[in-house]
Structure 1
């Protein structure tokens, strides 16, 4: 039986859809062999415009606002534009017209829905909200645990819970009878329960002599995509019940599924910039126990990696030969860069050499031309087409001076560098704009000598930057009015290469917590064993895959690191850099909506971009609790910086009630427990503003959960961040935003010095302001090479210009505000560009010019 996964138009399906279909068909296959009854079609797959696929039962609602006085509850809203997708674990809210890409498709419901008897109270008080989670014990063999939350008085409140229903997707965990019984139906992801705990629970609650019950456990593990557990349990069933020998082919199917997971792991590592680890996994792949098809896939991937290495070796050899044919003075001028290419050419940088790979072997072209293609490709990227060796030699000097400028602190010396640049033929704005994204971070060399940047000796890839938490608090206490010093921790992915840019998460801790907690959430708690099952407890794809379970753990063999511990979580696997800034002052209990907090975060991001290879077009801001509120506010206050915002267990207020106009430029992902207060009553009106046709927004409410960390949502969050559309949006031609704070005064290409009197609101005096209203800001890039400011909260502006705007830099550009007008003619100078990159640290979108009014 062969399954091919394609859309109705014949195109290949996305990985997400293919993964869902694979799981469904595996269940169908197992059910068919075991001889179960027919399928129940009860769920839908819903494809979203952002590339995500949701699965569950959907219904349409008019509003998220459940306030008793809302128009929706009064019957004033007849339209139902919001879709709620309920998968039993959580409810995901999206706007139908703005987010849904196609009509839902029916899929089979999960087959294995296992129930457990637990002493659940018949009566008891219904829980309306739950305080912050303080701790939780593992499930014992009876499927019970103790959850401790912050009670109404602030003291710890224990809740005894038991699993009453278990599916591959979620576990229904209810409060049990105690002296103070309560009614609480909480849902947690089944993936958050370890295989060891599940096996103990099944052993305690399953009759070992009941073959059907045992097979239910097998199917449960298969639906959960824990194929190693399913295979082991099925082998035990076959040993104990020889009459079930007709099920033996399914063991082979599970082995294949395990192999597929391991292959996916290798693919993911390769795509994430970890080719050595990917190759090590493939070299240790247990091909002797998998099908011929899987063997071919492994061989194809190894062949592809070998071909890449062959191309690298060919470039090395051919470039050396061609340079050797040039005159000695030219050879000497090229020596340093050729050595750099030889040492730093890797799979991530090989695309730069595409022109040379195509044309380098063309003997009809002279050596100078072909060497020029190679050097220009390395400096400017593929497609530069530069074949003039004189200009190429100049570009080498230009890059050296650009690096020197970006690292120089002395303004006088920077001016001298600009003067030296002006004499070079290759110092053109278009050349430097292409060069900047391919350069290493400006201050990468400072990492080795800067005493404020310390590599953590106990955790691979983790660095401490600036003051520690106590020092950061002390510095702010000493001078509360000054801007806080840069202080953050950073986690780099394995095989970090400064020549390759990485997506980044700026992760904000909750008030009262430390920055390292965010590294633990996004990157995993440091541990020694590679691919050890983490908090999400996805089955290790590299477990032994023979029927006897005796093969070596390939991925374990693949990871031999010198560090005592390493993080193995999602950012590590997906190749993200995580920056966790310190942003709270000592004793701070909540987010305060201040410029001090914004500057602590933004200065940390800029510092990190100067030192680490961060892709400025793929930077996300995220946070938990008060950090989630801060991330939300900073995102909509500076929407030009982010590819998206993730806010977990936040409580929006103040400016977030007024900044919705800014949010439409940026994807939003909000996660909350439906018992964290009463979210749809307290914040439903705010959520309604995001679930509209012009927003890329997903709002997720977990069933029966309070103020929590929601580790199990990380898988979906990384999938969301990696969708192709979630890159930093192009600068808008028609700019419409709002502002009501002095610090919120830079939006894409428009900046002002200070706000007019009465328009800026001090966050600490928020409740004393009689009329809270955000100041509108409107400006537009016109078709006649003109920028018009139509509405603004100031009389003094800077309009920053760059080619991504629909402007012709070869013609005069006009900027108008009311009766004022200023013309700008680009003179090919690069001073504005280099100073902008030095200050903002954004090498992807440097400004080429600036116009100031007045």
Structure 2
């Protein structure tokens, strides 16, 4: 029995040490079961893996050598030069998904999760034939709902036309449903929460005796374990109604249920606050159930409510005191300016922006400060933030003048006008490059932002007069969008058979209501990256340009956290995400390809993604996707890159909406890697020429048009290297295949108080002290629109 289980468990995936002799298979199987947390007696146990980025994955654990048998065999024959020859990948199987993660990214491993405690229900299904085994599953044409017997029909698109297939549920657990083909061999899993509640209830009722209270309690416990607390409450109410003598027996369950449900509501309330949805959060407080709720949860609710009351009081106090202090100013010119500025502040003052006035609110009653000094603290804080206030009112008013000039500079495309603006800024007392650097994160939108109240998607045409080709993108904003709140952003690339707005809907709409991105406070944009009629992604420069320009335009119109931009895509869009993500890693905090394939460029570019997290989703029966992607992903995992590969067992080419909560939980943990001091990249196209703070140009002719041969599997060109490093002693070393090199620098990278040396190709090209340059900083910000990564020095080398 042990040997049979072993061969089934690892027939596709090699464990470490599979070079053992056949005589040792039984012993190896026993050890393998222990590694996975399984006892030979059959008690099902699983493990829990925590990754460096904070992600936790649960399931049965198995160390493997490679993502496929072929790669595992090759790796096993590697020599000592291999970076990690012993089982570098960990597979975590939760029943419906195999998660593959690099062993190097694991910080905690727990092999003591007892799955036998979970409520599980069996459904009997009648099967016949089942001689045909599905080797590949294409896109679904139609899927019916399950009936109460756990059966449904899936109609697949095949080369021979439509193929209707009957499926049946055989097992229901709190986490997943096991599904089989009733007339063919096809086994897969579905998340329990992806099934309509009324259908799930009907299926469960088919597996129990409704007159048996203990079986009814098991169903209620099942709902708790599945996180379906409203359904659990309904089930317990039914038990208490039909079996009043069981009221005392279920008291503990009901108490635990109330605590869990209250915690779920509290977590939702906190999520609303985090997303800047303060109206909804305050409404949730008024409706929060207080009966039979733990004191800990009630205390947290009161703290949040008190925080909102304090915020409201601060807003009202600021409005009143600004007017009161303004009345003490006698100079009419100054008074007129203050009146205009007060109108702007009052109009825009809310729970997100009141923090700018926190220094003023802390000092507004300080008798040692004059009215002018207090007003200076208020109005300078509004422009540069509470941590950077000044007490001189004339300087504070100059901040407002400077901000207006900066916005004019950023909105202008005329070089002479920009030069005149810089001259004005340099003459303004109290204005320096450092002050302007403090202003930029708090600037209003540089470009007009067409915000819609109905939270529906809308389209934007990029208006850059220097655009090489027309670029447009669609936008879906979160609930209660507020330009004073900073939002993460998803760049969602559509598959060729869907529209951009349908791709936005996958992320942010649900049954004509708000979906995950809108609820969790993410902006989503979908660039039109495919040319008209294009069905496949061909690694084209136009797609890269459209995505980059859309990101830059969106950052100028909306309040985007540039440290938390995620590139994602389905199908064709996932193919593009693989390519664009590895080509421009400094733009993103993570990449999410769903049902996509890597390209020939990725075989060269995978090392470019060293600091870029990946969450890849696919299906076991989706073409040859895993085998294809493993050529790149296997290498990334062996070198310990931040990669999660989720493969749905028995599933094909789908959109995998079931994974969306995991995707957002993962994104919440990610931040862009901003200032690497070691950069080692490869370049095969001129557009792939900027990485973090370095750009190189004027390449050899052979990489201007790299040829893709052998059916998009190989590139007939030699990549140009880019190697840059900042060493001790304030020295920058550059080796590049381009003849022009540009460096953008900041105090986070080099020491401005020491002489900087720059050596390119072994030759000293610069040896001097750096001076912050307002023109360079504004020019770079105008180009990229990145408020979270500002450079105040630019050095060009030819």
- TM-score after normalising by structure 2: 0.88
* Structure 1 Cα separation of the partners of residues 711 and 196 of structure 2: 48
* Structure 2 Cα separation of the partners of residues 762 and 124 of structure 1: 47
Kindly indicate whether the alpha-carbon contact (under 8 Å) linking 1:515 and 1:580 is maintained by their aligned counterparts in 2. yes
- Residue matched to 2:749: 805
- Residue matched to 1:784: 729
Instruction: Select between 44-53 and 338-347 the one with higher mean Cα deviation.
Output: 338-347
Instruction: Select between 758-767 and 130-139 the one with higher mean Cα deviation.
Output: 758-767
Gaps in structure 1 of 5+ consecutive residues: 1-38, 449-454, 473-481, 528-566
- Quick one: structure 1 residues 809 and 407, their matched pair in 2 at CA, closer, same or farther if it must change by over 3 Å? farther
- Residue matched to 1:507: 492
- Quick one: structure 1 residues 845 and 136, their matched pair in 2 at CA, closer, same or farther if it must change by over 3 Å? same
- Residue matched to 1:599: 545
Kindly indicate whether the alpha-carbon contact (under 8 Å) linking 1:654 and 1:766 is maintained by their aligned counterparts in 2. no
* Structure 1 Cα separation of the partners of residues 71 and 486 of structure 2: 49
Instruction: Select between 301-310 and 276-285 the one with higher mean Cα deviation.
Output: 301-310
Determine helix, strand or coil for the equivalent of 1:255: helix
Kindly indicate whether the alpha-carbon contact (under 8 Å) linking 2:99 and 2:646 is maintained by their aligned counterparts in 1. yes
Determine helix, strand or coil for the equivalent of 1:779: strand
Determine helix, strand or coil for the equivalent of 2:268: helix
1:71 pairs with 2:71: no
- Residue matched to 1:587: 533
- How far did 1:787 drift? 2.4
Determine helix, strand or coil for the equivalent of 2:703: coil
* Structure 1 Cα separation of the partners of residues 495 and 546 of structure 2: 14
Kindly indicate whether the alpha-carbon contact (under 8 Å) linking 1:428 and 1:828 is maintained by their aligned counterparts in 2. no
1:733 pairs with 2:677: yes
Spell out, residue by residue over 1:320-354, the C-alpha distance to the aligned partner (whole angstroms, 9 max, x if none).
Answer: 33333333333322222222222222222233233
Kindly indicate whether the alpha-carbon contact (under 8 Å) linking 1:620 and 1:644 is maintained by their aligned counterparts in 2. yes
Kindly indicate whether the alpha-carbon contact (under 8 Å) linking 2:617 and 2:645 is maintained by their aligned counterparts in 1. yes
- How far did 1:95 drift? 1.5
Spell out, residue by residue over 1:534-574, the C-alpha distance to the aligned partner (whole angstroms, 9 max, x if none).
Answer: xxxxxxxxxxxxxxxxxxxxxxxxxxxxxxxxx42111111
- TM-score after normalising by structure 1: 0.83
Kindly indicate whether the alpha-carbon contact (under 8 Å) linking 2:509 and 2:515 is maintained by their aligned counterparts in 1. yes
2:501 to 494, 504, 516: 516
* Structure 1 Cα separation of the partners of residues 519 and 605 of structure 2: 35
Kindly indicate whether the alpha-carbon contact (under 8 Å) linking 1:623 and 1:631 is maintained by their aligned counterparts in 2. yes
* Structure 1 Cα separation of the partners of residues 795 and 71 of structure 2: 51
- Residue matched to 2:170: 164
- Residue matched to 2:6: none
- How far did 1:79 drift? 0.8
- How far did 1:752 drift? 2.2
- Quick one: structure 1 residues 770 and 50, their matched pair in 2 at CA, closer, same or farther if it must change by over 3 Å? closer
Matches within 5 A, 1:478-627: 483-525=468-510, 527=512, 567-627=513-573
Determine helix, strand or coil for the equivalent of 1:357: helix
Kindly indicate whether the alpha-carbon contact (under 8 Å) linking 2:674 and 2:789 is maintained by their aligned counterparts in 1. no
1:303 pairs with 2:303: no
* Structure 1 Cα separation of the partners of residues 355 and 577 of structure 2: 35
- How far did 1:811 drift? 4.7
Determine helix, strand or coil for the equivalent of 2:538: coil
- Residue matched to 2:222: 220
- How far did 1:256 drift? 3.5
- Residue matched to 1:279: 282
- Residue matched to 1:415: 419
- How far did 1:100 drift? 1.1
Which has the bigger relative contact order, CA under 8 A and spacing at least 6? 1
1:757 pairs with 2:759: no
- Residue matched to 1:25: none
* Structure 1 Cα separation of the partners of residues 405 and 768 of structure 2: 27
- Residue matched to 2:88: 81
- Quick one: structure 1 residues 335 and 105, their matched pair in 2 at CA, closer, same or farther if it must change by over 3 Å? farther
- How far did 1:435 drift? 0.8
- How far did 1:679 drift? 3.8
Spell out, residue by residue over 1:456-485, the C-alpha distance to the aligned partner (whole angstroms, 9 max, x if none).
Answer: x9x524222239xxxx9xxxxxxxxx9441
Matches within 5 A, 1:816-831: 816-819=760-763, 821-822=765-766, 826-831=770-775
Kindly indicate whether the alpha-carbon contact (under 8 Å) linking 1:165 and 1:171 is maintained by their aligned counterparts in 2. yes
1:399 pairs with 2:406: no
Spell out, residue by residue over 1:516-544, the C-alpha distance to the aligned partner (whole angstroms, 9 max, x if none).
Answer: 121111102352xxxxxxxxxxxxxxxxx
Kindly indicate whether the alpha-carbon contact (under 8 Å) linking 1:673 and 1:707 is maintained by their aligned counterparts in 2. yes
Spell out, residue by residue over 1:646-695, the C-alpha distance to the aligned partner (whole angstroms, 9 max, x if none).
Answer: 11111112101111111112111111111213444333232112213541
- Residue matched to 1:241: 243
1:628 pairs with 2:574: yes
- Quick one: structure 1 residues 199 and 71, their matched pair in 2 at CA, closer, same or farther if it must change by over 3 Å? same
Kindly indicate whether the alpha-carbon contact (under 8 Å) linking 2:433 and 2:773 is maintained by their aligned counterparts in 1. yes
* Structure 2 Cα separation of the partners of residues 730 and 384 of structure 1: 23
Determine helix, strand or coil for the equivalent of 1:715: helix
1:716 pairs with 2:662: yes
- Quick one: structure 1 residues 646 and 68, their matched pair in 2 at CA, closer, same or farther if it must change by over 3 Å? closer
Spell out, residue by residue over 1:491-537, the C-alpha distance to the aligned partner (whole angstroms, 9 max, x if none).
Answer: 1111111122210000000122211121111102352xxxxxxxxxx
Gaps in structure 2 of 5+ consecutive residues: 1-41
* Structure 2 Cα separation of the partners of residues 123 and 371 of structure 1: 80
Determine helix, strand or coil for the equivalent of 2:108: coil
| CA-atom RMSD in angstroms | 2.6
Instruction: Select between 768-777 and 495-504 the one with higher mean Cα deviation.
Output: 768-777
Spell out, residue by residue over 1:628-650, the C-alpha distance to the aligned partner (whole angstroms, 9 max, x if none).
Answer: 11112111111111111111111
1:151 pairs with 2:155: no
Kindly indicate whether the alpha-carbon contact (under 8 Å) linking 1:59 and 1:85 is maintained by their aligned counterparts in 2. yes
- How far did 1:766 drift? 7.2
1:127 to 131, 134, 144: 134
- How far did 1:584 drift? 1.0
Matches within 5 A, 1:640-655: 640-655=586-601
1:743 to 649, 673, 687: 687
Spell out, residue by residue over 1:381-435, the C-alpha distance to the aligned partner (whole angstroms, 9 max, x if none).
Answer: 2321422323212111000111111112333322322222222124311111111
- Residue matched to 2:48: 45
- Residue matched to 1:60: 63
- Residue matched to 1:24: none
